[in-house]
Amino acid sequence: MTRLKTSRLRGQQLVTGGHGSFFSSPNRKNYRKKSGTKVIIRDSSGRYKGLHERLLFLRREAEAEEDANAEEIYEDNNDLVYVDDAADMDYDDGQQTAEPVLDPQPPQPPTPDTLDCKRTKRRILPNTADYNEYRHWQENVEDMVDAYLSYTSRSLGKPAERAEVIERQECGCDQFKESSMTCLYFDHFRKVTVPHCACQPLHLVLVLHGLFPSAPQQPKVAVSLELLGLYRAMFERSCDAVNALANALHTFYTRRGFHVLDDKGRRVLDPFRRSLSSAIQWHDTLQIEVQRRIDEALIKCDNILKQSRKANRAELSQDGVALARGEANRQLQKLCPACFGGSRWGRNLDEGGDVHMALDGNFHHRHQAASGDGPHFHDAAQIVPKDTVDAVGNRINAARKRPPRKFRPQVPEEIIQECQDSHTAADGRKAKTDMGHFDDAGLMAMVCRHDVPLFVANIDTPGEQQKYGVALMEHVLALLPPEATCVFIIDVGCVFDVSLNKYYIITDDALKRIKFCTSAMHAYAHQWSCQLRYNPRLQKGMGLSDGEGVERLWSRLRRLIGITRTMGRRHRLWIIDRFLASVAQDHREELGQWAKRKLDGEKGIKKETQRATETIEACAVEEDVLRSEWVHQVETQTSIRTHAPVRLKKEVDVVLSLQTEIGALEKTIEDTRTSLSQAGVSTKDVKSSLCGLMECQSGLQAQVERLYASLNIQDQFPELAGVNIEFIRTLLLARDMKINVRKRAIGSFMEWERLDQAAGGKHQSLGTKIHQKTRNAITKRTPALLRSIRTFNKYCAKLDGLHDPSWNIPIPKPLPTKLSQLRDDSSLMEDVWISREHERIPRWLDDANVRDGIRALMKHDRCLEERRRLGLEADHMCAQLGRELAEVELAIQMPEYHMIHPLLQEHHIQLRLLQPQWTFALQSDIQIKSAIAQATDTANRVLGISPSTTLDWVTTVMLSTSESLDYDSITIDAPLVVEDSEEAMVVDALEDELDGLVESDMLDDDVAAEVLWRLPVRDCALHIQCIAQLMDEIKNDYLLEDVEDLPDDISDTLAHISLAPRVLAASGARSRISYAPEDIARFVSPTSMLNDDCINGAALLLQSHFIDEFSRSDVAILTTHDLVRIRYAASDEDIWRNTKRSEYWTKPAWVLPIHRKDACHWVLCVIYPAKKRVHLIDSFADRGGWFSDIKDIMKLITRLTTIARAKGNDMLQDDSLTWEAYPLMVKPVQRNGYDCGVWTLAGIWAVLKGYEVTSHTQATIHRVRSCLLSAILALPVS
């Protein structure tokens, strides 16, 4: 085989693996003779020159039209975009621009010379002229402060001034000038001649007469200060709207007959936008300078007042913890007096700390890099500088390169890793913004627990890195006393906690002062063991702080997304900072209303405390027991032992996949057998056709057995030795299936949240598009989620049937199939318990009453903590109001501040008006009035003024507890249903796509029944049977009177009596009933407990007796398995198949026997649908068990009603609301531990006879057992 010949260059290339590298041919050199020859066009007639000029003219005309269109679009979409263009300046630079005139002139046709003028291209970076302009503005603003204060002193509280003629003031300057200005007012504009000179500059003369220039030098337009003040108020209530104001003024002026024309008599389309933009920007700068001067005066007065106060000393709080005296920075005190107005700091972090703050990032507030930037003109008060954030980022990078320090996390690290993987906010390397298109990616905000925005960091990296959160935390810690403690609520608080403790990112002193929690809104995205340590609802001292204030801040800032995205970069930060200041001021004034909502709102302290107290009382479990069980639960579920090995999880995933294939194959075999049988194929042919499928099924089953045997469960979990292998298999499958359900559910919750989140801008679709995408995703994934939930519930039901109490392994609880209930179900986050308790199953894991009681106890504790914190914050607000009033009182009376005296008076009025706003239940009006009076006395004392002493006698008020709860009437209510996007769209999104998957358990409304722990108002009809007549017919040979009469060898006794299976023949809708010898033996023994078969068989036997006697029965007998099916969310077809024979929809009474497996106890529930009443019969008269049972009973009633109506049957009740439940036994009647089943049958016997309760006692209840035994033995032998 000959070798191919390659070129010299190709042969010199290196050999590379894989697909190799592409060979590029060398570029051919240019042909100099051809490219270097100059072509000379010979055009003696001049035709080429004319065509060339014509082409240039057309090109210039097209470019001018495109520039005009671009300018129109630019002006429509941008408010304060920085544009560096000589034509944009509102002053002359050597040559005056044309002024708008009022008299029209005939237009002149354009000349070709005007078309040759090239338009200046828009720049995105400032030049020297821009810096000079901003420098002139800053100099002018500093000079305008005194003039503005003079005008404000003259006009505050009076109608606005309008200078018709501005006269010249006497001065010794000989450099007199006059400038013609176009002055803009509310209702008109007019030309005004303004005299000015070197000692009285033009900008000062304008401000003294209530006008603000639109340019720093040689302005042509001036705007009324009142008009600018109105726009400032509009900005605080809406957002930046310069374009709207400019167009509205132009339209309003035109309708009033004031037309703006150019020097050629043509109408000017947009004459005021640029002038207003500049005036608004620098008028706001003037307001900041005026406020700074007022703050300087107040700070000096505050320092004087501090010197007159007592020396600092340490005090003891009520709980005995030493608190240090100190004050937060003045900026924090002004932002939120409730949080930072206190004077004692250092509260224990385990008790909630001093301050609660929340942090969150938002990547919708981006900025386009192409929008450019301008010179610096504003120092943001609430935005952390970029240099500070970058320094923190460099420190974090350096710390992560060093070895970590020893740290024991509160939660296993693999759990923290799972939380980090489920949050995009925890991955700082994940790009959320295209940094090629944007130079700023978003904002990271910090708010206090009262939703007041404190500080913001500008995100300029693609991902949400930790440096922004750390920079915000360090910034606020630096403004607090060194003893202050803070709790930060972050979506990924667990990740922050581990990072800061593991690496040397912040100082040890700062680390001791902070604590982290996760936001309550995103708790479902964290593992349950993580929530036990970081969920604020489960942490001591957190009150009702939830971290959702940041989401409300994003909602208010949403209107700025589109505006700030396309304006100058520094203008964007200016707009955000000023808007944050206005939001903070609004929240400061509404602190009293916020506290009132926390106290008296629908989800306030009073109502939540009442609900929690009712739940705790209904649980019938002592508070000390609940607290000890909670401590045990936290310790157990946060240990590493509760988590299965990773290898075991992967292997069980494979088993699940094979089980799914086997299930699909079984259905295929059954469908094939049915089809072949219906087609009339012979049995031999059917067997041959199914042979291959059955062999495949056998092979898969064998593969599952081999794989499961290879798991070595006894080696992985030696404590499971001796447990049924089928039970262990189902337990592991249920555990893995629940993990699968949890992942799917969290994804669904995230999609619902994405549907509600604030979005906007070109690169983040808003409205119908994202709505449709999210809806389609929900529609596709919800059926799989529902199938997974039902599969898990089937595993739970199977485990319940295989369970042996001696194993001490708790059975997992089924999950609701209704998505709204699934989101609020705490058991979703808990893994299936796969360990074996050697002593007993803990009550927090197995007792529903204890679990409900623990949740209610946590809510009760949080409400109590919230009430205490509200009282503390009320004291802070009162103290801060007193300090601020004292400052103002002192400043008003000091002569050196006479220039700002009117503004101080107005500030004093605003503070006095806070008195009624800040008054609520925990802060009386007398307390605030006392603080106001004390502020005046303090200022007078510093000035040496002796105030007149007056005594006000306060009426003594005795505190009465009017909030006592009536524990005799306990209402079990479902959580308040608030209509949100999830509830409103579930039916809409899944109505068509999920046909056949939506069961009645997803459609029933939340129902409740009021449990009244007393007998009904009317007398109960007592069932008194004629025992003597029945006893005459009993064969005493089958009755053992005493426990001692039972022989040791029970089987021999039963053989001697010759018990044989008995049969109750089918009759009507009732099917054939069999009574096994072992079940009959339970009636023979006086101390044996009855099982499901005994209860169900005996109940139907009693009903058949009354049907034979009266030809009908008005009672529907439900089986002991019906409520179990409801608990494990069985399908509608399964429930209908097992209940339709009772014809319950036609019966006025339903009898439901219930077995409490944990207590090994039988109870009875009698349901009267038409009366909407439930009778509860418990021989022990125990309240605790009914708390959880009544919820399942109401679900059963709702589902049976829904299913019956779906099958075309009418029900007696009209709805599932306002039900009442009465216990008919309020005192125990059973004295032993084995007759509960007999008492249940006695109750059924009474209901069948038309009564409501039996009159049997402990002395006569054994006769019921004997009567039932006689009736069973009278049946024919099968």
- Whether the predicted pLDDT of 444 surpasses 90: yes
Residue 105's nearest CA partner among 265, 261, 268 is 265
Residue 1173 counted as domain residue: yes
- 396 and 501 assigned to the same domain: yes
Q: CB 513: neighbour CB atoms within 10 A?
A: 22
Residue 1147 counted as domain residue: yes
Which residues, in sequence order, are bridge partners of residue 1067?
1070
- Rounded-to-5 percentages of helix, strand, coil across the chain: 55, 10, 35
Q: Are strands 486-490 and 355-362 parallel, antiparallel or unpaired?
A: parallel
The better pLDDT of the pair 1117, 812 is held by 1117
Of the candidates 534, 567, 589, which is a domain's last residue? 589
- 69 and 94 assigned to the same domain: no
Q: Within a 13 Å sphere around the CA of 409, how many CA atoms are in the beta-carbon half?
A: 25
How many separate domains does the chain show?
4
Q: How confident is the model at residue 847 (pLDDT cuts 50, 70, 90)?
A: confident
Which of these ranges, 260-269, 273-282, 358-367, has the smallest mean pLDDT?
Answer: 260-269
Which of these ranges, 56-65, 328-337, 737-746, 978-987, has the smallest mean pLDDT?
Answer: 978-987
Q: C-alpha distances in angstroms, 1084 versus 1038, 1089, 1155?
A: 6, 11, 21
- Whether the predicted pLDDT of 1041 surpasses 60: no
- 208 and 355 assigned to the same domain: no
- Could you tell me the residue range of the domain that residue 1105 belongs to? 999-1040+1058-1273
Q: Is 700 exposed, middle or buried (0-12, 13-18, 19+ CB in 10 A)?
A: middle
Residue 517's nearest CA partner among 504, 529, 530, 500 is 530
Which residues, in sequence order, are bridge partners of residue 1164?
1153, 1177
**How far is it, in rounded angstroms, from Cα 136 to Cα 89?**
13
Residue 1116 counted as domain residue: yes
Residue 1196's nearest CA partner among 1103, 1129, 1102 is 1129
3-state secondary structure of 357: strand
Q: Is 1048 exposed, middle or buried (0-12, 13-18, 19+ CB in 10 A)?
A: exposed
3-state secondary structure of 376: coil
- 68 and 101 assigned to the same domain: no
Asked if 428 and 572 count as a contact pair (C-beta separation under 8 A), the reply is no
H helix and E strand count, the chain: 45, 26
For the stretch 1193-1196, contacts whose Cβ atoms lie closer than 8 Å and that sit 24 or more positions apart, written own/partner, are 1193/1009, 1193/1123, 1193/1152, 1193/1165, 1193/1167, 1194/1007, 1194/1008, 1194/1009, 1194/1219, 1195/1001, 1195/1004, 1195/1007, 1195/1126, 1196/1122, 1196/1123, 1196/1126, 1196/1152
Residue 797 counted as domain residue: no
pLDDT tens string 148-204: 999 998 888 888 878 777 888 777 777 788 899 999 998 999 999 999 888 889 999
Q: C-alpha distances in angstroms, 8 versus 1, 11, 12, 23?
A: 21, 5, 6, 13
Tell me, what's the pLDDT at 710?
Answer: 60
Of the candidates 549, 574, 589, which is a domain's last residue? 589
Q: C-alpha distances in angstroms, 203 versus 126, 144, 190, 522, 850?
A: 24, 7, 18, 54, 75
Share of the chain above pLDDT 70, in %: 70
Q: Which of 19-28, 73-82, 643-652, 759-768 tops mean pLDDT?
A: 19-28
3-state secondary structure of 1277: strand
Q: What is the DSSP letter of 567?
A: S
Residue 1258 counted as domain residue: yes
**How far is it, in rounded angstroms, from Cα 1035 to Cα 997?**
54
Give the residue carrying structure tokens 């358990």. 1001
Q: In the predicted model, what is the mean pLDDT of residues 843-864?
A: 87
3-state secondary structure of 920: strand
**How far is it, in rounded angstroms, from Cα 132 to Cα 58?**
38
Phi and psi for 1180 in degrees, rounded to 5? -90, -10
Q: Within a 13 Å sphere around the CA of 1267, how many CA atoms are in the beta-carbon half?
A: 21
For the stretch 1198-1201, contacts whose Cβ atoms lie closer than 8 Å and that sit 24 or more positions apart, written own/partner, are 1198/1000, 1198/1004, 1198/1005, 1198/1007, 1199/1000, 1199/1001, 1199/1004, 1199/1126, 1199/1132, 1199/1135, 1200/1135, 1200/1139, 1200/1144, 1200/1145, 1201/1169
CA dihedral 299, 303, 306, 312 (to 10 degrees): 100
Q: What is the DSSP letter of 978?
A: -
- 1203 and 1267 assigned to the same domain: yes
Which of these ranges, 70-84, 235-249, 621-635, 770-784, has the smallest mean pLDDT?
Answer: 70-84
Average pLDDT, the chain: 77
Which of these ranges, 2-16, 98-112, 228-242, 316-330, has the smallest mean pLDDT?
Answer: 98-112
**How far is it, in rounded angstroms, from Cα 1114 to Cα 148?**
90
Residue 820 counted as domain residue: no
Which residues, in sequence order, are bridge partners of residue 177?
196
Q: Are strands 355-362 and 367-368 parallel, antiparallel or unpaired?
A: unpaired
- 208 and 330 assigned to the same domain: no
Tell me, what's the pLDDT at 100?
Answer: 41
- 1030 and 1146 assigned to the same domain: yes
Q: In the predicted model, what is the mean pLDDT of residues 649-653?
A: 55
pLDDT tens string 405-422: 887 888 877 778 777 776
Output the domain CATH number for residue 1155.
3.40.395.10
Residue 537's nearest CA partner among 601, 608, 599 is 608
**How far is it, in rounded angstroms, from Cα 800 to Cα 867?**
43
3-state secondary structure of 264: coil
Q: How confident is the model at residue 768 (pLDDT cuts 50, 70, 90)?
A: very low
- 279 and 329 assigned to the same domain: no
- 66 and 95 assigned to the same domain: no
Q: What is the DSSP letter of 856?
A: H
Of the candidates 530, 555, 589, which is a domain's last residue? 589
Q: Show Cβ contacts of residue 350 under 8 Å, excluding neighbours closer than 6 positions.
A: 540, 541
Asked if 365 and 757 count as a contact pair (C-beta separation under 8 A), the reply is no
Which residues, in sequence order, are bridge partners of residue 344?
325
Structure tokens at 484: 């202050």
Tell me, what's the pLDDT at 1096?
Answer: 92
**How far is it, in rounded angstroms, from Cα 1255 to Cα 1027?**
11
Structure tokens at 365: 């507030």
- Whether the predicted pLDDT of 949 surpasses 90: no
Q: In the predicted model, what is the mean pLDDT of residues 1186-1190?
A: 81
Tell me, what's the pLDDT at 41?
Answer: 61
- 61 and 96 assigned to the same domain: no
Q: CB 634: neighbour CB atoms within 10 A?
A: 16
- Whether the predicted pLDDT of 956 surpasses 90: no
Tell me, what's the pLDDT at 87?
Answer: 34
CA dihedral 494, 496, 502, 503 (to 10 degrees): 170
The better pLDDT of the pair 522, 769 is held by 522
pLDDT tens string 82-107: 333 333 334 333 333 333 443 333 44
Tell me, what's the pLDDT at 906?
Answer: 92
- Whether the predicted pLDDT of 998 surpasses 50: no
pLDDT tens string 774-804: 555 555 556 777 778 888 888 888 888 888 7
**How far is it, in rounded angstroms, from Cα 1138 to Cα 57?**
90
Asked if 607 and 598 count as a contact pair (C-beta separation under 8 A), the reply is no
Q: In the predicted model, what is the mean pLDDT of residues 70-74?
A: 42
Which of these ranges, 656-670, 911-925, 1095-1109, 1243-1257, has the smallest mean pLDDT?
Answer: 656-670
The better pLDDT of the pair 623, 705 is held by 623
Share of the chain above pLDDT 90, in %: 29
Residue 744 counted as domain residue: no
Residue type, 1043: V
The better pLDDT of the pair 520, 399 is held by 399
Residue 777 counted as domain residue: no
Residue 649's nearest CA partner among 831, 845, 816, 423 is 831
Q: Is 1091 exposed, middle or buried (0-12, 13-18, 19+ CB in 10 A)?
A: middle
- 68 and 211 assigned to the same domain: no
Helical spans, DSSP H, in 913-1062: 914-917, 925-943, 981-990, 1000-1003, 1027-1032, 1050-1057
- 231 and 362 assigned to the same domain: no
Phi and psi for 844 in degrees, rounded to 5? -65, -20
Q: In the predicted model, what is the mean pLDDT of residues 730-735?
A: 80
pLDDT tens string 1111-1165: 678 899 999 999 988 888 888 888 998 899 888 999 999 999 999 887 789 999 9
